[in-house]
Amino acid sequence: MLFYLDYNATRDTVVRPVILSADGMLPGIPESGVLYLQQGKQNLLRFDVPGGQFLIMGDPVFRASENLMAAVVPEPGNIRLDVLFREIKGHYYWFYLGPKQCRFGSSFGAVFPVYYHSAGDRMVAGSSSFALAEKIGADVQDKRNLLERLLFNYPFFNSTWWADIKLLDTHRYLSTDGQRWVVDGAFEVSDYFGTPENTSRDGLHELAELFQAETRLFFPDSPFGISLTGGFDGRTLVAAARKEHRDFFTYSFGRPDSTDVTLPASQAASLKVPYFPILLDEQYIGQHSYDSAQAFMRLTDYNGNFGRPHYHYAAEQLSAKTGHILTGTFGSELFRALHIPGVMMSECLIRIFASQDNSWKDFLIQASEGWDKDFFRAESEELIADIERYVEKMNGWEANHKFYHFVFNEIFRKYFGPELVMQSHYLNNRTPYLNLHFFGQLNRTIWSGVHSRIFEKAKSKRMKGQMFYATFIKQSEPTLYKMNTNKGYSPADVIEPGRLPLLLLKVLAHKYILNKEIDDNSVSTFFERFQRQLMVQPESGNPQFFQNTLKKYANGSPHEQSLEKQVKFYSIASGWKAAESLLHIKDHH
């Protein structure tokens, strides 16, 4: 799926959509005023609305209604984002096209990115930053973007690999009325944080009924797959599909001895549900992992990382069986208090939102100097000043609300987004948990992670989110209700008071006896085997910075050689090198 638009607000009058074939490519010199669309594995829908037409490209999920689009666009040029996000779920791009009017953006959560370059009256925008860089002749790489990736694992703000290409803000859209281009839209996810009015367990039953009704929309008419791992998110979707008597199969990936494979296999058999294992075995490592790693990076504009080649391999395998999968992506983040530093949340990010004073500034400065004191001196000062302004806008908010504002606006699309963008080249991943209606209702209860203490450490308090899963599964699929997760306990253990001693015993047994550290997704094995091939040395910017750091990771201490750090740096270096290869390509506009 791809879109591209080069539009001069004062010269072009009407945007003309042009549909590219599945194997078609953008013209060498795209025509001004033409919206190029390539739907790929997704849908392209057109609606007549006041003042023009409304296009949706992607995998929208909605209830058909005569009044739907009238509510989304009640009058020419007026886009009701709150209605659009609530009523049209799923992942997609949208476009409003009218005489001298053009507006476009992405769906709730902005999982599909919109990149743009603005120069006077001219706006060039599209779904691929690399396509834009090639067409506009990008000639300056963004050191600030590089620093943010090194500190946070992804950009904190809206920069890209190139200084003159930006990522559109979440829940905003690009807009012109024939004079100039602006970033427009006033939707704020924080307006849906709510207050925990409902504190009783009775509210869980109502919430479960709502989730069943909402998830029903996400089930395709044709056979589809559901990710069934050892956790709660996927088995909740399996329970929902079983209750609706849908035609689906389950799948998971992992090493043959991983509980993410062995547990779903045995439980799917007990449920008499088809199960498709995607084995990350020696054959996968030797024949597929390297190519999948490179493809994952290329198809995500190098916003992914080398730690997820198995996602690409799985998408290829699944696409031969179905055009749709349902996954529990975003589920755990809605219910639990995020707390563990890692790829999703770096220590630098946690310091910003957890610090009660300005100590996070010193931490960021030290972290920046740890990479290269002189190379990033100006960028680190600018970054700290921008973060200060960002946090100041939320002055007076609860600490966890500040953090969840960042989670929904940035982490969801920048950590999970690359995975879904890559998968969209092969199939559609429907994620029922990323649902504005359900999110708003959840936040009226105490079960929402939004209302947890920020970075809660106590497991007993973090497990409260599992109360919803357990309640839902009990109502929808009694067989699954008694089956253990790979945490060592079952949904029944979570919500039945009489089973509390058993739950505590199972948790302790899993933590101290049964929990084995294994390379579940064969990431360590892959990286150890192909580390040398993954090493790249970018030539521009500060080549000495990359060379010295690569040398440190190749020959440094065991602490410096941690897998997470190596994967992170090699991934960023690869992206910087790929972006460098497009520098100074001149277009003819």
Tell me the three state secondary structure of residue 198. Answer: strand
Claim to verify: residue 89 and residue 202 sit in the same structural domain:
no
* DSSP bridge partners of 254: 279
> Distance (Å, rounded) from C-alpha 145 to C-alpha 447?
36
3-state helix, strand, coil in the chain (%, to 5): 45, 15, 40
First-to-final CA distance of the chain: 25
> 26-35, 252-261, 417-426, 496-505 — which is least confidently predicted?
496-505
Average pLDDT over residues 336-365: 85
Average pLDDT over residues 87-106: 96
Claim to verify: residue 172 and residue 46 sit in the same structural domain:
yes
Where a domain ends, among 506, 525, 548? 506
Strands across the sheet containing 248-254: 275-279, 248-254, 224-227, 324-326, 428-430
Phi, psi of 94 (to 5 degrees): -130, 150
Average pLDDT over residues 261-282: 95
Claim to verify: residue 329 and residue 449 sit in the same structural domain:
yes
Average pLDDT over residues 109-138: 95
Claim to verify: residue 322 and residue 212 sit in the same structural domain:
yes
> Distance (Å, rounded) from C-alpha 469 to C-alpha 244?
17
> Distance (Å, rounded) from C-alpha 275 to C-alpha 252?
8
Residue type at position 519: D
Claim to verify: residue 288 and residue 422 sit in the same structural domain:
yes
Highest mean pLDDT among 282-296, 436-450, 455-469, 524-538: 282-296
pLDDT at position 340, please? Answer: 65
> Distance (Å, rounded) from C-alpha 462 to C-alpha 442?
16
> Distance (Å, rounded) from C-alpha 237 to C-alpha 112?
23
Q: Residue 405 has which token pair?
A: 């504002």
Average pLDDT over residues 313-329: 97
Claim to verify: residue 307 and residue 441 sit in the same structural domain:
yes
> 35-39, 274-278, 534-538, 541-545 — which is least confidently predicted?
541-545
pLDDT above 70 (res 585): no
Average pLDDT over residues 278-304: 97
Contact between 337 and 320 under an 8 Å Cβ cutoff? The reply is no
Q: Residue 588 — pLDDT band, cuts 50, 70, 90?
A: very low
pLDDT at position 452, please? Answer: 81
Claim to verify: residue 89 and residue 214 sit in the same structural domain:
no
Claim to verify: residue 98 and residue 174 sit in the same structural domain:
yes
CATH code for the domain in which residue 433 is found: 3.40.50.620
> Distance (Å, rounded) from C-alpha 515 to C-alpha 81?
45
72 domain residue, yes or no: yes
48 domain residue, yes or no: yes
463 domain residue, yes or no: yes
Average pLDDT over residues 474-488: 89
557 domain residue, yes or no: no
pLDDT above 70 (res 589): no
> Distance (Å, rounded) from C-alpha 316 to C-alpha 309?
11
Claim to verify: residue 231 and residue 183 sit in the same structural domain:
no
pLDDT at position 54, please? Answer: 97
Provide Rg for the chain, Cα atoms: 24
Query: For residue 517, what is the DSSP state?
Result: -
Claim to verify: residue 42 and residue 91 sit in the same structural domain:
yes
Q: Residue 344 has which token pair?
A: 């999703």
Kindly report the three-state secondary structure assignment for every residue of 23-80.
CCCCCCCCCCCEEEEECCCCEEEEEEECCEEEEEEEEEECCCCCCHHHHHCCECCECC
Burial class (CB within 10 angstroms; exposed 0-12, middle 13-18, buried 19+) of 166 = buried
582 domain residue, yes or no: no
Which DSSP string do the residues of 533-583 spell out, in sequence order? HH-----SS-HHHHHHHHHHHHHS-TTTT-HHHHHHHHHHHHHHHHHHTTT
pLDDT at position 559, please? Answer: 45
For Cα atoms 366, 372, 378, give the angle at the middle one, nearest 5 degrees: 80
Contact between 95 and 104 under an 8 Å Cβ cutoff? The reply is yes
Claim to verify: residue 175 and residue 233 sit in the same structural domain:
no
Sequence-separated (6 or more) residues with CB below 8 Å from residue 418 = 296, 300, 303, 304
Tell me the three state secondary structure of residue 347. Answer: helix
pLDDT at position 344, please? Answer: 86
64 domain residue, yes or no: yes
Q: Are strands 34-38 and 16-19 parallel, antiparallel or unpaired?
A: parallel
Where a domain ends, among 473, 506, 539? 506
pLDDT tens-digit series, residues 366-404: 999 888 888 899 999 999 999 999 999 999 998 889 999
Strands across the sheet containing 181-184: 43-49, 52-61, 89-98, 101-106, 173-176, 181-184
pLDDT tens-digit series, residues 213-251: 999 999 999 999 999 988 889 999 999 999 999 999 999
570 domain residue, yes or no: no
pLDDT at position 14, please? Answer: 83
pLDDT at position 383, please? Answer: 97
pLDDT tens-digit series, residues 285-297: 999 999 999 999 9
* DSSP bridge partners of 119: 122
> Domain limits at 177?
2-114+168-187
Where a domain ends, among 441, 473, 506? 506
Structural domains of the chain, count: 2
Claim to verify: residue 265 and residue 199 sit in the same structural domain:
yes
Average pLDDT in the chain: 90
358 domain residue, yes or no: no
Q: Residue 557 — pLDDT band, cuts 50, 70, 90?
A: very low
